[in-house]
Chain A
Amino acid sequence: MSLQSLVAETAVSIAERRAKRLGAGFYSGRQLMIIERSYKALRSSSWLVVLSGFVEPVFYLAAFGFGVGQLIHGMTDGNGHPVSYGAYIAPALLASSAMNGAIYDSTWNVFFKMHFAKLYEGMMSTSLGALDVALGEIGWALLRGLAYAIGFMAVMIPLGLVPSAWGLLSVAAAVLVAFGFASFGMAVTSFIKSFHGMNWINFVLLPMFLFSGTFYPLSVYPQWLQVIVQAMPLWQGVDLMRNLNFGTFNWHMLGEVAYFVVMIVLGLIFTTRRLTALFMR
């Protein structure tokens, strides 16, 4: 066996080529290798588990959109036009499914990989940097969120729940929402040390899902509560997607896009710093 091969591209030459760039200490540009790893792991795991996350919002749509929806009339879009209850809640459920997909991989799965599988420890003893790991894991979580959103979209369109062609832009919005939640979710998870702490994530997510204008307009709340709900990331996503779905535009939507961009950037910064502190100090 020859250990020194004649291949020009050695691990060392690859690392040295990169060394002069800014941020070489924490970023090698190889986040796709982490995604490749996740893809390989997924192929040999159970698809049913993945599928279950997609089915959940579909059940909500069936129960509330067509069950409860029979009893509800008088819902309107952003311009005051009447819409069916199913079409009202569908974009909100779309935002939730993007969120759920992103959260699965960026919280519990990250927690397990970090503390039990010791996967990041292994990655960080190669020439990868902390930002590679953060981007790769967040990118994978984002892909799952996007996959759920596309799947949900494929249910919405034939049911006539996407009245405007602008509604197709919801898929782009789903990328943004999933990226935001994945990034923020991994950052939060990286600071949590116990299972007990992890349960707080679920404790926050469920009420956020129920009360972020998902099933009824915010106007039912008193003013002070409206302000609190509007500060929540899911409401930002719900409002963005609902407006896209009905093709009603307003300036708030730019703010909502900016909200997710900030979430993404902050999440990446804190995750990278935390991974560095945990595995490189």
Chain B
Amino acid sequence: MIVAKALTKTYGDFKAVDAIDFKVKRGEAFGLLGPNGAGKSTTMRMIGATLQRSGGDLQILGKDPNTHGPEIRAHLGVVPQQDNLDRELKVWENLFIYGRYFGLSRKFLKAKVEELIGFVKLEDKRDVKVDALSGGMKRRLTIARGLVNEPEILMLDEPTTGLDPQARHVLWDRLFRLKEQGVTLVITTHYMDEAEQLCDRLIVMDKGKIMAEGSPAELIRDYSSREVVEVRFGSAKNAEVAPHLEGLGERIEVLPDRILIYAENGEQVLHQITTKGFEPLTSLVRRSSLEDVFLRLTGRTLVD
């Protein structure tokens, strides 16, 4: 559905997106993962045909967004990072008018709007203005708005940033439903759990480049161990203790606030630490996540 080859966006000397290649297949949930400033949103805007690329090739459903902007935008649903709902309009009017922008008929939209309000569970809020909605409701309305033109691809830029855990789960549930109905999802996020929950396949981006590509499970298998031990000795002592732990597990990362030890068997490593005579203030054995993949690839954590 989407094919990018050496896709590049430069602003002066700065390469926001630096010759990246990727493909998105019909019906999959494709993720762009990376910290702020990695070039995710820039890539999204180029796919969304609201930003002209500086170089390389980009095809969306076989069309070039630089020359077929309106047609491509008619195929897409866009959920931007910052809500840009129409605050002067009521909830149902937001959906209705957005559909009108695509040239859809009033008759079609009357039914469509009610269907979408039901889908995002905003029946009670149908006739209120946008300002009266909570953050999670606004985001759901933005998703409904993105669906009004029955898009084949739904683009979500940081869909759950700033939402509380409950609102995030409601949102994820709706996105799963969409995926089941065959809508292709393209999602940017800097949340690892979100990427793991939603994405079939993802690319890890940093500084405009792709660092790795694959399914969440593949990435964890290729770039991390099965389990991770997190130990804290207090911020002053972490660096002091770290050299004594060398040789435990497969790899050690020392962060300012904690030490991570990658291993097949975490409990075993934790036991070895205590037998060496070190007593961590807190310890945690967990499964490897994409956070660890990112740390391995870039030497940095995702959310600073």
B-contact bits for A32-44, CB 8 A (1 contact / 0 none): 0110110011001
A228 beta carbon closer than 8 Å to chain B: no
Name the contact of B100 in the complex, choosing from A9, A18, A33 (C-beta under 8 A).
Answer: A33
- Segment touching B, from A81-89, A122-130, A170-178, A207-215: A122-130
Chain B residues within an 8 Å CB radius of A24:
70
Instruction: Establish whether residues B86 and A281, one from each chain, have CB atoms under 8 Å apart when the complex forms.
Output: no
**Do residues A126 and B104 form an inter-chain contact, with CB atoms below 8 A?**
no
In the assembled complex, which residues on chain B have CB atoms less than 8 Å from the CB atom of A18?
A: 70
- Known contacts A3-B183, A281-B52; decide if A118 and B82 are in contact (CB<8 Å): yes
How far is it, in angstroms, between the C-alpha of A182 and the C-alpha of B182 when the chains are bound? 45
Which residues on A sit within 8 Å (CB–CB) of B101?
A: 30, 33-34, 123, 126-128
In the complex, chain B residues whose CB is within 8 Å of the CB of A40: 89, 93, 97
Chain A 243-281 residues near chain B, CB threshold 8 A: 279-281
Question: Which residues from 78 to 125 on chain B have a C-beta closer than 8 Å to any C-beta of chain A?
Answer: 78, 80, 82, 84-90, 93, 97-98, 100-105, 108, 112, 115, 118-119
B75 touches A (CB below 8 Å)? yes
Q: Which residues of A contact B88 (CB under 8 A)?
A: 41, 44-45, 117
Does B272 interact with chain A (Cβ within 8 Å)?
Answer: no
Most B-side CB within 10 Å, residue of A1, A25, A119, A122:
A122
- A33 to B149 CA separation, bound complex (whole angstroms): 15
Asked if A36 and B100 make an inter-chain contact with CB atoms under 8 angstroms apart, the answer reads yes
Give which listed residue, A30, A36, A41, A125, contacts B80 with CB less than 8 A: A125
A63 in the interface (beta carbon within 8 A): no
Q: Which of A1-40 contact B (CB under 8 A)?
A: 1-5, 7, 9-12, 14-16, 18-19, 24-25, 28, 30, 33-34, 36-37, 40
CA distance A118 to B69 in the complex (A): 20
The answer, yes or no, to whether A121 is at the interface (CB within 8 Å) is: yes
Nearest CB on A from B158, distance (A): 15
* Contact between chains at B84 and A126 (CB < 8 Å): no
Q: Which residues of B contact A118 (CB under 8 A)?
A: 82, 84
Residues in B with CB closer than 8 Å to A30 are 100-101, 103
B86: nearest residue on chain A (CB-CB)?
A119
Number of residues on chain A facing chain B (CB within 8 A) = 42
Distance (whole angstroms) from the CB of B14 to the closest CB of chain A: 15
Please report the C-alpha to C-alpha distance between residue A155 and residue B100 in the assembled complex, in whole angstroms: 37
B51 at the interface (CB under 8 A from A): yes
Query: Cβ of A121 and Cβ of B80 under 8 Å apart?
Result: yes
In the complex, what residue of chain A is closest to B78 when comparing beta carbons? A125
Q: State whether A5 and B97 are in contact (beta carbons under 8 Å apart), knowing that A11-B150, A28-B103, A127-B102 are contacts in the complex.
A: no
A136 to B64, CA, bound (A): 27
151-207 of chain B: CB within 8 A of chain A = 151, 178, 181-183
Q: What is the chain B residue whose CB lies nearest that of A39?
A: B97
Contact flag A125-B52 (CB < 8 Å), given A12-B75, A15-B70, A37-B97? no
A10, closest chain B residue (CB) = B150
Q: Could you say which residues of chain B place their CB within 8 Å of the CB of A127?
A: 70-71, 73-74, 101-103, 149
**Chain A minimum-CB-distance residue to B48:** A125
In the complex, the answer to whether B89 meets A19 with C-beta atoms within 8 Å is: no
Residues of A close to B70: CB separation below 8 A:
15, 18-19, 24-25, 28, 127-129
Which residues of A does B touch, CB under 8 Å?
1-5, 7, 9-12, 14-16, 18-19, 24-25, 28, 30, 33-34, 36-37, 40-41, 44-45, 117-119, 121-129, 279-281
Q: Which residues of B contact A (CB under 8 A)?
A: 48, 50-52, 67-71, 73-76, 78, 80, 82, 84-90, 93, 97-98, 100-105, 108, 112, 115, 118-119, 129, 147, 149-151, 178, 181-183
